[in-house]
Amino acid sequence: MKLDQEQLDRFDREGYLFFPALFSPEEVKVLLDEVPVLYAQRRPENVREKGSDAVRTNFAAHLYSAPFARLARHPRMVDPIAQLFGEAVYMHQFKINGKMAFDGDVWQWHQDYGTWLNDDQMPTPRAMNVAIFLGEVNEFNGPLMFIPGSHKLGVVDAQHDTSTTSYPLWTINHDTIRRLVDSGGIVAPKGPAGSMILFHSCLVHASSSNLSPWDRINVYLSLCAVSNHIRRFKRPEYIAHRDFTPIECLPDDCLLKAYDVALPWKDGTPEAALKSAIAA
């Protein structure tokens, strides 16, 4: 999938692109059927909500789940980002965020590149996020909120919040958010399962808690230009990957056909992947 000039211009201006229903119901079902299996496992890759057993984030499923390993190599996702960067990309991070009905907590206002810079020493923001909806996202179940154009500001000052939720995040203070919203407003792309968002790693975003009776499950894949790989291995490898091999795409029907994929962590998380490592 290639982006046309209008899409390239819109991405440059707003910092994100939204593709409603890009994946078919059949493709989504393959992924969604796998999520309860992953969430039920007592693996370190499952981070649970503060004070709850509900899964907040599942990390690195592409290394031990065949359907998600195939998604990680899908051309509808990889090709546009390689086009924007003008070079091959690798998987920096792979998450299945479960903002579960009634229990899904907030994600505070932040930029993903802020974390990648501070924690991983990623040199520049030549990395991008892909969000794929595995269920309908509506105004009630905690949609992603963006401040359009905020990516043009580069890295915004942030503080390391280790207490609000179960997952530490470099968050942006309220006064800064007020100022950014006064300038750019807030948007919240909503749509059916199978929709996809591409968004810049400096785009300021957040999501509210899910008080609705509907789960909101999104896959987030963070792809980084190979030349821009991280320099510090402070975080466990299941959170910030250390394999900078360029992604080789499978055919477009890879979610519906059982193409062979490597599953190196199928029998458990390697001990080395649970720890920090000395930077190369």
Answer whether residue 132 is part of any domain: yes
The answer to whether the beta carbons of residues 203 and 28 sit under 8 Å apart is: no
Q: What is the pLDDT of residue 166?
A: 54
Domain that includes residue 99, residue range: 5-274
Chain mean pLDDT for the chain: 92
pLDDT band at 160 (very low <50, low <70, confident <90, very high): confident
Answer whether residue 85 is part of any domain: yes
Q: What is the pLDDT of residue 240?
A: 95
How would you list the strands of the sheet with 46-48, edge to edge? Answer: 16-19, 196-200, 127-133, 216-225, 89-99, 55-59, 46-48
pLDDT band at 52 (very low <50, low <70, confident <90, very high): confident
Answer whether residue 101 is part of any domain: yes
Answer whether residue 279 is part of any domain: no
Answer whether residue 149 is part of any domain: yes
The answer to whether the beta carbons of residues 241 and 153 sit under 8 Å apart is: no
The answer on pLDDT for 278 being more than 70 is no
The answer on pLDDT for 91 being more than 70 is yes
Q: How far is CA 150 from the centre of its chain?
A: 18
Of the CA atoms within 13 Å of residue 162, those in its CB half-sphere come to: 1
Q: How many domains does the chain have?
A: 1
pLDDT band at 235 (very low <50, low <70, confident <90, very high): very high
CATH of the domain at 146: 2.60.120.620
pTM of the model: 0.91
Answer whether residue 136 is part of any domain: yes
The answer to whether the beta carbons of residues 134 and 245 sit under 8 Å apart is: no
The answer on pLDDT for 162 being more than 80 is no
